[in-house]
Structure formats: structure tokens, C-alpha cells
Structure 1
Amino acid sequence: MKANLQEDKHVHVSRAVLKRGNPMFFYAGLAAVLLVVCFPFIWMILASFKMQVQIMSMDKLFIFQPTLNNYRTVFSEYEFVKPIVNSAIVGVASTALSILLGLPAAYAISRYRQNILGLIILMVRFIPGITFLIPWYIIFSRLGLVDTHFALSLSHLLINLPFIIWIMIPYFDSLPRELEEAAIVDGSSVVGVFLRIILPLSIPGVVTASLLSFIFSWNNLVFSMALSGGNTQTLPLAIFNFISYAVIDWGALMAAAVLITIPILILSLLAQRFIIQGLTAGAVKG
């Protein structure tokens, strides 16, 4: 009996130790994951303030004399303002078009159970964007639209539109149908229900879809390589200007990468609450 009591005591002590140790292991694991994920970004920021020789030296990884010459070079020698403006125009235009077309399509698929149409749209999303590159180029070159913001914005619809539709379908599924039925009984039309009831309730999902769509457009390189030129060069394509046959300007390249990343980080932090709500919508029903 005494042996059993001692054994039970040891079991309780062991459980208490494990329970106290769990948070420590959790935070240690979290710190390790954050270090692996964030280190490339931290290194990129540090490298943007270093000279070319310092970037290649491991002795100057954290201790060095910072300089702003790389950022001056980005704007003075590489004219980086114009690609920023072009990427912003294309990103906003393609996102706005995708939202304008995608929200009604997602609502119709959700409410009228158009599963076949949804499957077709999903298949289009799975097709690599480079598959459409040559047809797009032939069409836009015949129409004289190559090197225009309009051509790039339309080409980005192939990526953004299916993505927005498939984000919003589960979100619309999670909204109770009783609200729509009550509004229709009160005399509202289907369009009125969509505009006055569904859209205001779907703000988190719309913000999430818009932000992710803008990020995809902001980072897209494939279509810019064929459809843009000197007038509409976007940021991913402008990055190639830092790479030459003989040498790579790593300092200016890292500074440009930081400038590309900062707007996305700011938007993500400002819309963090909506992103979490939008991505978890429809996960639990009932």
C-alpha cells in the first residue's frame, strides 16, 4: 500500500514537472521557428545598409558601419520610383477588377450551388500562368496594347479572379440564409440583398481577398516579362537591372528588396484583424 502511494506521488510530481515544462518547450520551439523564418529578412535589411565588401564578409554580419548609399543608388541610378508606381497601378487595377467580378460570381456559386462552374474556375487557377503568356502576348500585340497598364491588369486577372472566388465561396456559405429570406420577404431584390446585407457582413473576407490578390499582383514577374516595357516596368522586373553579366550589385539589390517588402508588411499589419477573420470564416458552421 505504501509503495503504491509513493508510486502515485512520483507520477503526480512527474506530471507537474511536465506541465511546467510544456510552456518552456513551446516558447523555445517558437523562437527556433521564428529565427529560421525571420533570419533571411533580417539579413536582407542589414545587407541593405552595408557596402559590397561587408555583405560578403561573415565578420561583418552584425557589426558594421551602416550606410545609406544603397538606397541612394536605387533611386538615383536605377530610377526605382517609376516601377513602384507601375506596380501600384497594376496591383490596384487588377485587384479592383477581380473584386468587381469575383464577388458576384462567388455569391452565385455559393447560393445556387454551381459546383461545376466552381470546379472549372478552380482548374483555371491550377493552370500555370506561363501557359497563357503566348496567347496573351499575341492578342495584346495585335490590339496594340503591349506595354500598357491595361494589358498587365487583365493578365493578372487569371491569377486573382479564381483566387478571390474561392476565398469568398466558403465565406458566403457561412452567412445565414435567413437574413436574405427576411429581406426578400420585405420586398428587397436579390441584387439589393447582395449589396445591402451580404457585402457589409463580408468585409473581413473582402479585405483578406483584396490584400492577398494585391500581393500576388505586386510580386508577379511572368506576365511583366512579356507584356511590359519601358513605360510599364514593374518592381519584380526592375530587380533584374541590379544583375549584370560581370557583377551583382548586392547592396542595391537588398535595398530594393526591402523597399518592395515594406508596403506589403504595412498593409498586412493594418489589416491583420480582417485577415484572420477572413481566412477562418466558414471553418466552423452551425
Structure 2
Amino acid sequence: MTVTASPAAPTAAARNRRRTLLSAARALAVTLVVLLFGLPIVWMFAAAFKTNVQVTDPSVGLWFTPTLENFRAVFEAGQIVRSMGNSLLVGVVSTVLSAVIAVPAAWAVGRFAMHRAASLVLVARIVPAISLLVPWYYLFAQAGLVGSYTVLVLSHMFVSVPLIMWIMISFFAGLPVELEEAAQVDGLSAFGAFWRITLPLAAPGTATASLLAFVFSWNNFMFALVFADDSTQTVPVTLFNFISYASTDWGGLMAATTLITLPVLIAAVLGQKYLIAGLTSGATKG
């Protein structure tokens, strides 16, 4: 008597092999991404505790005697502390004002299909900001704003408002409109339903968009280089001071970079739950 193998057996085995290969491929991809983005950060943190000679010596790896001289020199210079305060002020103010403008605008586009108006806002994301520096500088100089915090906030809002708006449009479009309709039946106006019902539900998306806008403001170099002066200089421009024509203070540069990276890194870690929820909600709700 001949026993034939079940046709399901090889199929199940092949399926298991396929799952194993996919799992291995995913693990390899994740490892490559972590190495690609993680190694430069590890090198930066390590270089902050090295001398300039050790930074430029390829034979010095992760085994070295750390020094705090770079951080001491950065703090003694004093500019980094003031620049971080300037960046924090400009980042917070521009992000809050952008959210106040962009979140209701995104809700209006999502609820009332104002896509033509939204397309005009998208132009701000398409036009290269560098092409606007000359007319901006002329207008702001005529208004006496060059070198002030106002010009930095306004220039950052030019990018932050469209960024927040386009993130929030898909988020609001994914929220059920029946909630607002029920609130209006109970006597609320359309904006009242948005303020009391929809806006609290959109907190993850708002937090995500605001965090991304703040990171843009914190890292922006071009606007601060052109519009700021010594008193309103932000951290990216201060980092540029560690680079001279003849040499580069690598230890001081890495120490200063570490100091300005930590606040954003901590904010991203603390807001990770809202960041993930905000980035995925617009795509999964409907």
C-alpha cells in the first residue's frame, strides 16, 4: 500500500520558509537602517568627549579617555547658551502661531472640501525658500525688522503653516463627521463642534505636526544666517562659528552639536506615543 503525502504539507512548509525569509529580510533591513542613522549619532556623541587630535586620528575608536574640555570651552564662550534660548523662543512662538492658523484651516479644508485654497498653501512648500530670501530681506529691511525675533518667527511660519496644515488635513478627513453633526444637533455651531469635539480627538495629529514644525525651526540655518544678528542668532548659525577658513574645531563642534541635539531627541522620545499615533491615524481612520 502506497501512502501519498498530503498536498498541504509542502505548501505549509513553503509558507513557513517564506515567513522565515521575510522575517530575516525585515531584521536585516531594520539593522541596516539603525546602522545607517545610528552610527553618525554615536560618532558625534563620542567625538564630543575627544580632543581634536583624537577626533582626526582614525586609529582612535570608541576606546579612549573622555574629556569634558570641549563642553567647558563651549559654555565659557557663552554664545551657545544664548543661541539655544533664541532657538527655543523662535521655535515655540512660530510653532504655536502656526498651529493656531493651520489646524482650523486644515479642519475647514477637510470638512468643506476647500481643496483649491489648500493648493495655494501648498505652493509655499513647493517654492524654494532660498528664492524668497532677496525679496524678503528687502521688505523686512524696509520695515526695520531684520535682526529681530519677529522676522525669524515670520520666516519660519512660512514653512511651518503649510507643514502642519497638510499633516492635519488627512487627519481631520479621517475623523467621522457624524460626531460634529450630532454636536450641532445638540445646539453647537460648526466651529463649536470643532472646538469641543473634533479638536480634542485631533490631539495626536496636532502634537505630531507641531513637533515636526518645531524640529524644522530648531534646525533651520538659512533664515537665521540671513535675517538674524548677534543678539538673535540661533544654534545652527552658532555651530557654523566653529568652522574657520584655516581649521575646524571638531571637538567643540561635536560638543555643541550634542548639546543642541539632546533637547529635540528628548522631546521626540517623550512624545513618541503621540508621534506614532499622529503619523498613522490619518492613514488608518476612515
Provide TM-score, normalisation by structure 2: 0.93
Pairing 1:206–2:206 present: yes
Pairing 1:63–2:31 present: no
Pairing 1:130–2:119 present: no
Q: Which residue of 2 is the match for residue 99 of structure 1?
A: 99
**Per-residue CA shift, 1:1-57, capped at 9, x if unaligned?**
969649987776666556556545543442233112200110011011001111111
Q: Displacement, 1:275? A: 0.9
Name the CA distance, whole Å, in 2 between partners of 1:192 and 1:207: 21
Superposition map of 1:111-126 within 5 A: 111-126=111-126
**Per-residue CA shift, 1:39-89, capped at 9, x if unaligned?**
011001101100111111122111111000111111112521010000000
SS in 2 for 1:242: coil
Does the Cα contact within 8 Å between 1:125 and 1:159 map onto a contact in 2?
yes
Does the Cα contact within 8 Å between 1:55 and 1:61 map onto a contact in 2?
no
What is the aligned length? 286
Name the CA distance, whole Å, in 2 between partners of 1:171 and 1:15: 37
Superposition map of 1:1-286 within 5 A: 5=5, 16=16, 19-20=19-20, 23-77=23-77, 79-286=79-286
Alignment root-mean-square deviation, CA: 2.1
Name the CA distance, whole Å, in 2 between partners of 1:2 and 1:99: 74
Name the CA distance, whole Å, in 1 between partners of 2:185 and 2:101: 27
Distance 1:68 1:171, change over 3 A: same
Distance 1:153 1:9, change over 3 A: closer
List runs of 5+ in structure 2 lacking aligned partners: none
Does the Cα contact within 8 Å between 2:79 and 2:238 map onto a contact in 1?
no
Name the CA distance, whole Å, in 1 between partners of 2:111 and 2:155: 28
Name the CA distance, whole Å, in 2 between partners of 1:246 and 1:181: 66
Does the Cα contact within 8 Å between 1:74 and 1:80 map onto a contact in 2?
yes
Name the CA distance, whole Å, in 2 between partners of 1:9 and 1:180: 53
Name the CA distance, whole Å, in 2 between partners of 1:182 and 1:19: 46
Q: Displacement, 1:281? A: 1.7
Which deviates further from its counterpart, 210-219 or 18-27? 18-27
Q: Which amino acid aligns with 2:148?
A: T
Distance 1:244 1:174, change over 3 A: same
Provide TM-score, normalisation by structure 1: 0.93
Name the CA distance, whole Å, in 1 between partners of 2:20 and 2:101: 53
Q: Displacement, 1:214? A: 0.2
- Identity percentage over the alignment? 44
Distance 1:50 1:10, change over 3 A: same
Q: Displacement, 1:266? A: 0.5
Name the CA distance, whole Å, in 2 between partners of 1:24 and 1:64: 35
List runs of 5+ in structure 1 lacking aligned partners: none
Would you identify which runs of 4 or more consecutive aligned residues in structure 1 move more than 4 Å?
Answer: 1-4, 6-22
Does the Cα contact within 8 Å between 2:45 and 2:258 map onto a contact in 1?
yes
